């Protein structure tokens, strides 16, 4: 049992020592910038250890070998596990976010990172500027050169009738550059962008080390280029075992490159690289991490005095930042192009341009799309006369590694806020013709006037408005109605928004109003006519219905009441004779029972309406008879009222001798009995 335990302890100790050894070896490779060699070691180490050093170095290995997806993954893990780590790692994480298109997240982190209000304001201003540059659209036509391979090619520049660039030596036995695992770079040339086979520079130039970034004087007889620190045919390393980059000069003598010398300001302890010449060839620009840099690499300039050089000068904080600026180039129109990850861009290294003035430099501007991407975009140069040039990029979609792209500038770099047009035509709504002298007013969303215009004979107007803003457009003209349009502009640069309006003349309005009034009048008359006709029809229906109902009631009461009889088209309440004293109209006592029977019948039928009709014989004066009959009828009605019959239900009328039962012509032609029949009181039922 003790032996087994001892074996387990030994194996455990061996495992710990092996882990420590692997970490030490990975660290040594990493510190010597052998990232491609250190990477697989850290990929194994991270499976058992997620220490600060392992996560940090693994993330950086991916970052420096351009595996952005994995760099993003491990930087995220690193910052989550160690939130108080140096800000440089958050910067690289933000760069990876941009490279993978997550700009919103990257900008959000930048805002959190910036503490000073003035710095945040400057950031937002630059962000707005970058948005405006994006709004220009694609400023260049670009194409991937046919000479590109799965390895890296970059630094293309026109020299005479050739294109010179740096590329990997296609030799399996050649030594590899342990930063990225590729073979070392050499200088090559091709006759055109269509070439697929390149000619290498002679052995005097190309060595077993890196050679790249060539630039030539106008006569083509002097070349400056970048090479590893190289003396007497051997690579030179400093105390950190790093071979720095240096700028060399070569002269073309009798068709051969000779007099190859290292520039005097090169140094074993820092790199000097990426040479560029001013138009007068009296100034050499380059990138370096020499003492006095503001960031990891800055751009410097140095005066050329024949074969001598002045003291390198940092271009200052307008060009250089706390990050990295490299690959300068000066165009014929005296503009400085360079790549930077310190100026706000689309991700990793972007190309920027600044005007060169006698007293310094203009503010650098991002050159825009599609030259710049989320990845490294660098080694830019352009002929300002033909607008043609080259740049390099490791963006997805290339052949592999860094690729050379040809470019043609098609749009100028004019940075302005995103604007749109608000335009249209003011016309007559009826004639469709354009209106002149119409006033068109542009207001902001709060209805404050911004500007106004008066239309010409074509009725046209046009305003400029800021993208993503709301506006009100009002149109008016004397003797015309007014109109307005509300517009909210989108984010599409230079979009044209139609705000055309058609106005109606007051004369046309009055004509339409008069026509409408006449129409309404006719419609009202027609409606009234229809209503009258309907009412007439309804009245006729009601009348017919009333006749039917009356007839039904008459038949019903005739069948029930023996005292009710029909006399032609009348219903009468049959009674015994009602007698009055001679020449008098008072109700006699013996007549009251007769009247009470009529009253009882009326009370039985509360809807019954009765007319008392009093008649005389034909003897005597007609007027007298009419008056006497009226008094007798009224006297009878009074009795009915006294007995509780409502006034509305009982009426009285004296007929005199006008309605005799028997015609007595002449008066003495009738017997006394016949005269008696004519003297009568009738109770006519008028309604049931």
Q: Rg of the chain over CA atoms, in angstroms? A: 58
Give per-residue burial for 37-54: e unless 16+ CB within 10 Å, then b. bbbebbeebbeeeeeeeb
Percent of the chain with pLDDT over 70: 95
8 Å CB contact between 391 and 408:
no
Mean pLDDT, range 426-453, rounded to an integer: 96
Query: Distance between CA atoms of 453 and 475, rounded to whole angstroms?
Result: 10
How much is the pTM? 0.70
- Residue 5 has a pLDDT of 46
Q: Which helix (H) or strand (E) holds 542?
A: helix 506-560
Mean pLDDT, range 680-684, rounded to an integer: 89
Q: Domain ranges in the chain?
A: 26-113, 141-409, 420-503, 505-552, 561-687
- Residue 596 has a pLDDT of 94
Query: Distance between CA atoms of 342 and 298, rounded to whole angstroms?
Result: 10
Query: Distance between CA atoms of 470 and 447, rounded to whole angstroms?
Result: 10
pLDDT at 428 over 90: yes
Q: Residue 570 CA to chain centroid, in angstroms?
A: 88
Q: Following DSSP, what letter does each residue of 344-404 receive, concatenated?
A: --SSSSEEEEEEEETTEE---EE--BTT--SS-EEEEEEETTTTEEEEEE--TTSSSSSEE
8 Å CB contact between 298 and 315:
yes
- The string of pLDDT tens digits covering residues 250-287 is 999 999 999 999 999 999 999 999 999 999 999 999 99
Q: Count Cβ atoms below 10 Å from residue 33 Cβ, excluding itself.
A: 18
**420-503: CATH topology:** Immunoglobulin-like (2.60.40)
Query: Distance between CA atoms of 300 and 316, rounded to whole angstroms?
Result: 9
pLDDT at 114 over 70: yes
Q: 314: which residues sit within 8 A by CB, 6+ positions away? A: 292, 293, 294, 298, 299, 300, 320
- Residue 232 has a pLDDT of 79
- The string of pLDDT tens digits covering residues 150-196 is 999 999 999 999 999 999 877 655 555 556 556 789 999 999 999 99
- The string of pLDDT tens digits covering residues 569-597 is 889 999 988 877 767 888 889 889 999 99
- The string of pLDDT tens digits covering residues 608-631 is 999 999 988 888 888 988 998 899
Nearest to 156 by CA among 285, 397, 324, 329: 329
pLDDT at 657 over 90: no
Question: Average per-residue pLDDT in the chain?
Answer: 91
pLDDT at 112 over 80: yes
What separation in angstroms does the CA of 180 have from each of 22, 65, 342? 20, 5, 23
Q: Residue 125 CA to chain centroid, in angstroms?
A: 22
Q: Following DSSP, what letter does each residue of 257-324 receive, concatenated?
A: EEEEEE-TT-BTTB-EEEEEE-TTS-EEEEEE--TT-SSSBEEEEEEEETTEE---EE--TTT--SSB
Query: Distance between CA atoms of 273 and 276, rounded to whole angstroms?
Result: 10
Q: Which helix (H) or strand (E) holds 521?
A: helix 506-560
Q: Which helix (H) or strand (E) holds 62?
A: helix 52-64
- The string of pLDDT tens digits covering residues 298-347 is 999 999 999 999 999 999 999 999 999 999 999 999 999 999 999 999 99
- Burial label for 144, CB within 10 Å (0-12, 13-18, 19+), is middle
Q: Residue 123 CA to chain centroid, in angstroms?
A: 25
- Residue 4 has a pLDDT of 44
CATH of 141-409, one of 3.90.320.10, 3.30.70.260, 2.120.10.30, 3.90.650.10: 2.120.10.30
Q: How confident is the model at residue 379 (pLDDT cuts 50, 70, 90)?
A: very high
Higher pLDDT, 459 or 21: 459
CATH architecture of 26-113: Alpha Horseshoe (1.25)
SS3 (DSSP) at 667: helix
Q: How confident is the model at residue 14 (pLDDT cuts 50, 70, 90)?
A: very low
Nearest to 140 by CA among 375, 292, 351, 376: 351
Query: Distance between CA atoms of 574 and 684, rounded to whole angstroms?
Result: 9
What DSSP character marks residue 612?
E
pLDDT at 351 over 80: yes
- Residue 2 has a pLDDT of 47
What beta strand segments (E) does 468-529 contain? 470-476, 483-488, 496-498, 501-503
- Residue 180 has a pLDDT of 57
- Residue 675 has a pLDDT of 79
- Burial label for 301, CB within 10 Å (0-12, 13-18, 19+), is buried
Mean pLDDT, range 668-673, rounded to an integer: 84
pLDDT at 679 over 50: yes
- Burial label for 538, CB within 10 Å (0-12, 13-18, 19+), is exposed
Mean pLDDT, range 487-499, rounded to an integer: 92
Query: Distance between CA atoms of 596 and 124, rounded to whole angstroms?
Result: 111
8 Å CB contact between 240 and 234:
no
Domain 561-687 class, CATH top level: alpha beta
- Residue 171 has a pLDDT of 62
Mean pLDDT, range 357-377, rounded to an integer: 96
Percent of the chain with pLDDT over 90: 74
**Torsion sign across C-alpha atoms 201, 204, 210, 215:** negative
């Amino acid at each position: 049992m003790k032996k087994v335990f001892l074996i387990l302890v030994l194996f455990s100790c061996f495992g710990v020592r092996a882990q420590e050894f692997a970490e030490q070896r990975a660290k040594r490779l990493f510190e010597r910038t052998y990232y491609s060699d250190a990477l697989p070691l850290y990929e194994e180490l991270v499976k058992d250890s997620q220490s600060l050093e392992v996560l940090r170095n693994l993330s950086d290995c991916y970052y420096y070998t351009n595996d952005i997806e994995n760099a993003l993954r491990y930087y995220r893990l690193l910052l989550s596990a160690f939130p108080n780590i140096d800000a440089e790692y958050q910067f690289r994480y933000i760069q990876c976010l941009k490279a993978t298109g997550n700009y919103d997240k990257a900008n959000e982190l930048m805002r959190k990172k910036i503490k000073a209000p003035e710095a945040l304001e400057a950031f937002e201003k630059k962000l707005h500027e970058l948005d405006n540059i994006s709004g220009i659209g694609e400023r260049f036509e670009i194409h991937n050169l046919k000479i590109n391979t799965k390895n890296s090619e970059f630094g293309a520049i026109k020299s005479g009738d050739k294109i010179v660039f740096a590329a990997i030596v296609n030799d399996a036995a050649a030594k590899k550059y342990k930063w990225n695992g590729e073979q070392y770079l050499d200088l090559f040339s091709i006759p055109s962008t269509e070439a697929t086979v390149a000619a290498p520079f002679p052995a005097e130039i190309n060595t077993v080390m890196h050679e790249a970034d060539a630039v030539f004087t106008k006569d083509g007889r002097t070349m400056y280029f970048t090479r590893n620190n190289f003396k007497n045919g051997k690579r030179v390393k400093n105390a950190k075992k790093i071979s720095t980059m240096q700028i060399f000069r070569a002269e073309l003598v009798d068709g051969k490159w000779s007099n190859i010398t290292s520039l005097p300001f090169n140094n074993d302890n820092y790199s000097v690289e990426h040479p560029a010449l001013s138009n007068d060839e009296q100034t050499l620009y380059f990138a370096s991490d020499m003492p006095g840099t503001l960031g990891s690499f800055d751009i410097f300039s140095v005066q050329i005095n024949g074969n001598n050089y002045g003291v390198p000068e940092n271009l200052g904080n307008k060009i250089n930042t706390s990050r990295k600026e490299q690959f300068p180039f000066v165009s014929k129109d005296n503009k400085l192009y360079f790549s930077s990850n310190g100026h706000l861009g689309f991700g990793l290294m972007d190309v920027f341009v600044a005007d060169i003035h006698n007293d310094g430099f203009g503010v650098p501007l991002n050159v825009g799309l599609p030259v710049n991407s989320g990845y490294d975009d660098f080694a830019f140069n352009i002929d300002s006369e033909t607008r043609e040039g080259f740049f390099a990029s490791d963006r997805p979609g290339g052949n592999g590694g860094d690729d050379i792209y040809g470019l043609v500038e098609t749009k100028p770099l004019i940075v302005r806020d995103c604007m749109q047009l608000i335009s249209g035509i003011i016309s007559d709504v009826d004639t469709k013709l354009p209106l002149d002298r119409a006033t068109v007013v542009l207001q902001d969303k709060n209805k404050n006037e911004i500007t106004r215009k008066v239309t010409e004979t074509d009725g046209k107007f046009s305003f400029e408005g800021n993208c993503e803003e709301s506006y009100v457009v009002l149109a008016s003209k004397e003797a015309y109605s007014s109109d307005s349009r509300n517009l909210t502009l989108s984010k599409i640069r230079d979009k044209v928004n139609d705000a055309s309006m058609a106005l109606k003349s007051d004369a046309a309005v009055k004509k339409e109003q008069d026509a409408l009034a006449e129409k309404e009048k006719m419609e009202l008359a027609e409606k009234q006519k229809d209503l009258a006709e309907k009412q007439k029809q309804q009245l006729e229906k009601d009348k017919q219905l009333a006749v039917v109902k009356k007839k039904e009631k008459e038949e019903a009461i005739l069948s029930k009441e023996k005292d009710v009889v029909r006399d032609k088209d009348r219903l009468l309440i049959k009674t015994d004779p009602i007698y009055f004293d001679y020449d008098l109209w008072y109700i006699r006592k013996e007549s009251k029972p007769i009247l009470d029977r009529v009253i009882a019948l009326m009370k039985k039928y509360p809807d019954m309406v009765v007319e008392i009709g009093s008649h005389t014989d034909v003897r005597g004066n007609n007027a007298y008879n009419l008056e006497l009959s009226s008094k007798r009828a009224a006297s009878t009605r009074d009795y009915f009222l006294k007995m509780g019959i409502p006034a509305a239900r009982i009426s009285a009328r004296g007929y005199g001798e006008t309605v005799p039962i028997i015609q007595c012509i002449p008066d003495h032609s009738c017997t006394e009995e016949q005269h008696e029949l004519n003297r009568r009181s009738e109770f006519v039922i008028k309604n049931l």
